[in-house]
Structure formats: structure tokens, C-alpha cells
Structure 1
Amino acid sequence: MSALSAPPPAFDPRDPLGVDDLLDDEERAVRDTVRRWCAERVAPRIADWFERGELPEIRELARELGQLGALGMHLEGYGCAGASAVQYGLACLELEACDSGIRSLVSVQGSLAMYAIHRWGSEQQKQQWLPAMASGEVIGCFGLTEPDHGSDPASMRTRAKREAGGDWVLDGRKMWITNGSVAGVAVVWARTDEGVRGFLVPAGTPGFSAPEIRHKASLRASVTSELVLDGVRLPADAALPDVIGLRGPLSCLNQARYGIVWGAVGAGRSCFETALDYATTREQFGRPIGGFQLTQAKLADMSLELQKALLLALHLGRRMDAGRLRPEQVSYGKLNNVREAMGIARAARTVLGANGISHEYPVMRHAANLESVLTYEGTVEMHQLIVGKALTGLDAFH
């Protein structure tokens, strides 16, 4: 029987377009490994952690993720897994299907802190920090955003001055820093007379503290901190030697945004599958609510946007693996996929009715988390302007 005359495979409501066929065996293996870990280790506890507003087992989770090879997994050498961009993306999808806070832990560790050292650090810095970070023994954080400067990092006030003996002295504040108060090392970006530079600040350095930010309504199962630098003295070799200027931190942000492109699909998938399961089991007026036209319209629209977002993420991942991915293209993915995941979460909540606000289901938790994901690594407006500049050649940022 020819391929043209062979019957198509059965329709799978959870993979309606057959996207799984586009993955190879190794990619599926990575995805399934992370999915199992999330189901066994995190899913039974995440609602409680979210309600309590803490991630009490973060150090244990980091070590377990290190054993999985998920930390800095797309980096080469120094104990890193050397995985493909698509494999890393699939891991981010599964982590965020569990919770955005867990994916943020991995993204900040690998795509921000570790990537900064791997891409811009000295060999000594790489040897000192990356193996321990890849194993999860050392957690890292990334200090760029400030209390008064988020979307405009060029106006940062944190300052590093070089003294006569070669030491650096840092003063300033950073805000909304994931992993900050549990990090063993902080990658801190500061203004110098030469331009913006990155510095590796070990925990416990005199003058450096990282008070945790409390009372969050989003990303509650995540450690978020302020970084305070009051006369922090660092040796000359604490500076990342291979970059001066904003291209250093922006290159790291592009890596993290790529992970969000995939992660948002995971949050959307969790919400959609919850709504689908609920609609086929919840009965009103004598039959499952999934048998009513308005509910089916919601499910169809959710599935459509979810599959489009997944295909976009996979396309960008293939381009990254081919060395052809541009930052503007990552902005397309971040802008679209987070926005659509939020729409899926809202629609899923209405399918669940009053149960949609209960933490017995993940939908409201995802909806709250996505409000943060929409903002960090570039707000909607910033990504619209990045795309707009790419389309017109005109800079509307100023």
C-alpha cells in the first residue's frame, strides 16, 4: 500500500497536528524525561508551594535538575549536556507546564547566569563556576533590572569603579532577581568608565546582600530578590573580560527569551488539557459540557492557538540549531506565545467555571504566573518595537 493510500493515524486531541512526528527519538526522550521528573517531583507539591509563596526545596530541586542535565543543557563543556536548542526548548516546555517558577529557575541558571560566564567569561571563571552550576551545587542569578530601570538598561545606575590597585568597587541596586537570595554567585551588570560590564559577585562578599521580595501575586513558587551592593570590593579578575557594552547582557536575554517561547507553550498546554479533561467529564443539563457548542468553540480556539505557538517554537528552535536565528525572530516568538498562552488560560478558566479559581486545578496559577512572564525578558511593548524596527528600519525606542 502506498503512502498516499494508507489510512492516516488516529486523531489525537493532545497532538492534533501530529507535531510529535517532527521530533526525533532523542528529542522525545529529553521531553519525556523532564515530564516524568515534573510529574513525580514537583506536580504533587506545587500548588502548596504556590499558596505558601515559597520554593522551600529549591536547593534540592537544583541538584536534581543538575542530575537530569537540565542546567545549562544547551551549553558545551564544563559539565554541561551540550543539548540542541530544540531539546532545551522541549525541557522548558515541560518545566513550565508544571509551573513557570520551575522553568524560571532553570532559565536564569542556564540561559542568563551560566550563559554569561560561558560566552563572556575567562577560562578561569568558566572552570571555577560552570561545573558546579551545571550540577546544581551552585545556584546563579543575573542582576540587570533596577528599581528605576527595567526596559531601559542603558540608564542603569549601578556603578563599578576601578581603584588604583586594580580592584573594582560596586555600588547600586538590582530588582526582581530570580534566585537572588539563594545564589552562590551573581552576575551583576554595572556602568564603568569603559561602558557596561559584567561582574561575578560571590555570595557572602562584604557589602553584598540579597533580601527576598515577598507578597507576590505571581511566580509565588519562585525565589525573587533585590540585590544590594554597598561598596562591594571585587578583585580585577571578577569582571567578565570578553565584552563591554549592552551586547553582553542583551545576548543573555535573547537566550532566556528563547526558553520562554517554549515555556509559554507548556503553560498553555497545561491549561488546555485541564479544560479538555474537565469538559468531557463535567455534566450539566444531563450531559458533559464538552457537548455544547460554546464550549467546543472555546476548546477549538484554544487548541488552534496552542498548536500554532508550538509550531512557531519548533521552527525557531530549528533555526537556532542551524545557526540562523535572529533576535528579532525570538521577539516574534516571545510576543506571540506568551500572549496566546494567557488567552488560553483565561478561556480555560471559564470552561472550569467556579472550579477554575481553585488550586486543585493549575489554571489560575498559570494565569497568574503568565502575567509575570509577559513582562520579564522584555515587555509586550518592547518586543513590538523590536519587531517594528525590524520591519521598517526605523527606531521608535526614543
Structure 2
Amino acid sequence: MKNIYDVLMERGYIEQVTHEEEVKELLSKESTTFYIGFDPTADSLHLGHFIQIMVMMHMQRAGHKPIALIGGGTAKIGDPSGKTDMRKMLTPEDIVSNGEGLRKQMEKYLVLDGKSGYIANNAVWLDELQYIPFIREIGSKFSVNRMLTAECFKQRLEKGLSFLEFNYMIMQAYDFLELERRLDCQMQFGGNDQWSNIIAGVDLVRRMDSKQVFGLTFKLLLTSDGKKMGKTEKGAIWIDPEKTSPYELFQYLRNVEDADVDNCLRLLTFLPMDEVRRLSALEGSEINKAKEVLAFEFTKIVHGEEEANKALEAARALFAGGGESSNVPFTEMSRKKFVDGVSLLDLLLEIGLIPSKGEGRRLVQQNGIHVQDKVVADFGLVVDLAQFEDDKLMIRKGKKVFHRIQLID
């Protein structure tokens, strides 16, 4: 059986590791407890987060114990990593509610029963800290000069870094110390933007408890041109089906660029690497088969096989030109709304197919909008009841994005 470290490396997850040989040995010999932190800035995980969930699933399948750490305390500060501006301050009530949403989602994908895996919340120890004792015991172990060289602070220093955010690294390092003491946690994992924070935690545990712990980062989910994946005109691609439907998730991955197929198959599916390489090598129109497999496999992981099959059926029906499927995203609207007609651009904005009227005009000028399978030539078009068939109106953006308006009384 392959060492899980080698599996993660082969699939392309691993970016940096503090002590490679020691980590490989640790992961080959015993059941190792490791943690990944998730600040509850929203009530759902999004596509970018799922790289971390996939790593935890791979690790747990190999016999290691994940700690899913909800950042109920650190969310009150806000991680400056990768941000040019200070994060929006959340209310304590929102943080608690969001944390509960994340907990429910993680329990779908990981066994967090207190034996095979754990769920923890850093508010348990961070909320109880007394300021003077904490900075005497923990703050004295940090060099401000060294902290200021960290990548997560460099970007913010140009615009201004609040003292509140400056504490974030110390708090995250303290999490590692607490989890090492409470649950014998030996490793911290995180996205590549967390490297400075992870190193700080490894150093703090060594200074406080004279123990060697380890850190590892994995790649962020990026497109081939370096942009973060999981963003659309409507916003983030969420794991919550109420925020992003299984069909929309499927379609997002079905429509990735050819150059991103190999990376996504490696990171977002459990397909054997031989199959990943075979699919990634397809060329021309054949690469669409690989995209369909990618979309199906990931939707199955997130929402289950039944929802994945529904999304696949809907996509195939639309690509075949049928233009009709019960699984296509739809919006119910009052019949009265269309008695006097609605501006096409207003309608596209309302259903989230365009981010602005300017973008809508551009799409119409490029023949990129179809209503009832007819290309729209005039962005001043008014949609009224006469255009509906059986109380339905199908709108298509480009070749692949469909949305149905369903009339209700």
C-alpha cells in the first residue's frame, strides 16, 4: 500500500512541508492526528474549501485522524492572509450560526465521532484568554520583526494592517499548541496561503512543550492562468445545495477550461491516477468526455449519486438540443409581472445570468443570449406573456448556461 504522503504528492496536493522525511515516516508508521482550521465567515463551504476536505478524506481513508477545527474564536479577528483589505466584522451570533452550518457539512464527508476524527472549536480556549497572562506567556515567544516578514502581512502593510489582525498569527499558532496538548495533534495542514501561520505554530509548540510537530500546505484551487476557481458572475460556487444547486455545480465543472481538466481530476475526484491520466490525455472534442466525468464524480462526492445522475441527465438533455429538463435551474415568477412586459436586461440581472446591464448588452451584441432557442438581436427586447410556452420561458447564455422562467399565478 502506498504511503498516503506519496498519494497526496502524486495527485498534486502538496506544496510545502516543514520536515519531509520525518513526515513521510510519521504517515507510514502510525495513525497520526492532524488538523485543518476553517473560519466560519459564511454558513457553507465553497468549492475552494473542498481541496481541504478532499485531503482530510484521503487521510482518514488511510487511517489517520482529522480534527476539523471551527474558528469560532479566530473569526472574531479575521485572517489577513491573501486579503488586501480588512475582512468584514461578523457578529458573535453570525459566527456561531455559521460554525454550526460548517459542522453539519463536514460531518457529511468525515467521521468526526471522537475516535476516528474530531470536531473542535477554538472559541473554547480563545474566548477565555486573559490578555496580560496570554501575552506574557505566548506573545513573548514571537518576534515582531520576524512576523512582519511573513507573506500574509507583507501585502497588508502597504494599505494598513490593524493591530487586531496582527494577532491572527499568534492565535492560530496557539490553536496548534492547544490541539497538541488536548488531542496529541502532530500535524497542521492548510492552503498554501497559511504557510507563515503554520510555521509559527510548529515553532510555538517546540518552544512551549519541547515537542516536534509538523506542517504541510497544499495548493489552492487555481485555474491554469493563476486565478482562484469557484467564482462565477453570481458569486461563489457553494457546497450548500440551497446556495448552488447540484446542477449549477455540475455545470461549473463541466465547463472548465481544457487546461484545467487534469488538475481538477487529480484534486476533486478519487479516480485512480491511471484513469486521471487517460482522461486528461483526451484531445479535441473528446476532452468533453473527461469534463463530464469530472463534473459527475465531484457532484457525486458532494451531493450523492442520485443528484449527480439528475445533473448529468439535465446536462445531456440540454446539450442534445432538447432544451428541456426538470433539473435545469429555474425561477418562479408571477404571471402579473409579464402582463406589461419586462426588460430582458432586467430579467437577466434578476435571475443572476449577468452581473451588470453592460455585460448583458455585450452578450446580446455577440449573439450570446437566446430566448426560446432564438438568438436575441436587440438588447432593448421586452419579454411578455406572448413569448411563454406552457407557462415556461427558456433563456440560454452562450452555448451551455440555461435558465427557465416558470410562471405562477
| TM-score using structure 2 length | 0.22
Q: Which has the larger radius of gyration?
A: 2
Q: Which has the higher contact order (CA 8 A, sep 6+)?
A: 1
